[in-house]
Amino acid sequence: MQFAPLYPILYKILKPTFPDCLWSGAKNSRAIALTFDDGPHPQYTPELLQVLDQYRIKASFFWLGICVTRTPTVAREVYARGHWIGLHGYDHQSFPLLKPDALKQSLEKSQLAIAKACQLDAETLRDVRPPNGLFTPQTLSLLHQWGYRPVMWSVVPEDWVRPGVSVVVRRVLQQVENGSLIVLHDGYYGGQDIVQTTAQLIPELLARGYHFVTINELWQRSPTPRN
C-alpha cells in the first residue's frame, strides 16, 4: 500500500505540532532543498553526483553509517563536492524502537564513520532525519538534549517504492512551493531511479523559478533558525 497522498496532510498537521524541527524554509523565498536519504550507494550516488554537477546544484545527504563504512570513497567524494551531510542513523532502525543509549550510540557511530571517511570533525554533523520519518516527542527531546537538529520534510513522493519516474516527478511538481524540503532516496530502495528522477526534476524546478540551497542554508532561512 502506498501512502503518498497522506504525506501532504501529515505535513500540515505535524509542522505546527513540532515546530522545533525543520520541516521547510521561508514561504517568501523561492529557495528549496533537495535531499537524499539512505546512501551512500556505490553505484547510484556517483551517478547522482554527475547530475548535480551538471546543474551546479548543492544538495543534502542523510547517510546511514553502515553505508558510509561500506563505501567511504563515495562518501568522501560527496563531501568534497560541497554537499551538506546529515545523519540517518547507523542501519535504518526506527528511532522510537531504540532505547536512549542505543539511539545515541547509533548516531555517534554514524558520526564517527562519516568523520573518518570525509576527514572532518564529527561534532559538525548535527542534522538528523529519523528513518521513515518516525519519531516521538521523547525522540525529539533526546535529539535536542544531545545537541542535534531534527530535520523532517514537506514533499515526500514515496520514491522508495518505485512507482515510476514520471509518477515521482509529478508528485513533486504538484506539491512543491516556496521553502519546500524534498525527500528522495539514493540507497538500495528507490536509488535505481534516482538519476532519471533528478535529471527530470531539476530543470523543471529551475524553470519555475526555484533555486536550491542546502539544509544548513534552509535552517538559516527558517522563521525559527537553530544554530
Residues identified as active-site: 37, 185
User: Under a CB-based contact definition with an 8 Å cutoff, are residues 28 and 178 in contact?
Assistant: yes
C-alpha of 104 from chain center: 19
Residue among 137, 136, 130 at smallest CA distance from 156: 130
The Cα–Cα gap between 157 and 8 comes to 10
Q: Sign of the C-alpha dihedral, residues 91, 195, 76, 85?
A: negative
For the beta carbon of residue 129, count every other beta carbon within 10 angstroms: 27
Give phi and psi for 201, each to the nearest 5: -70, -45
Is the N-terminal amide bond of 40 cis, ω within 30° of 0? yes
User: Under a CB-based contact definition with an 8 Å cutoff, are residues 184 and 197 in contact?
Assistant: yes
Question: Helix, strand, or coil here: 184?
Answer: strand
For the beta carbon of residue 4, count every other beta carbon within 10 angstroms: 16
Residue among 150, 122, 139, 119 at smallest CA distance from 215: 150
Beta bridge partners, 60, equal 35, 84
For the beta carbon of residue 146, count every other beta carbon within 10 angstroms: 14
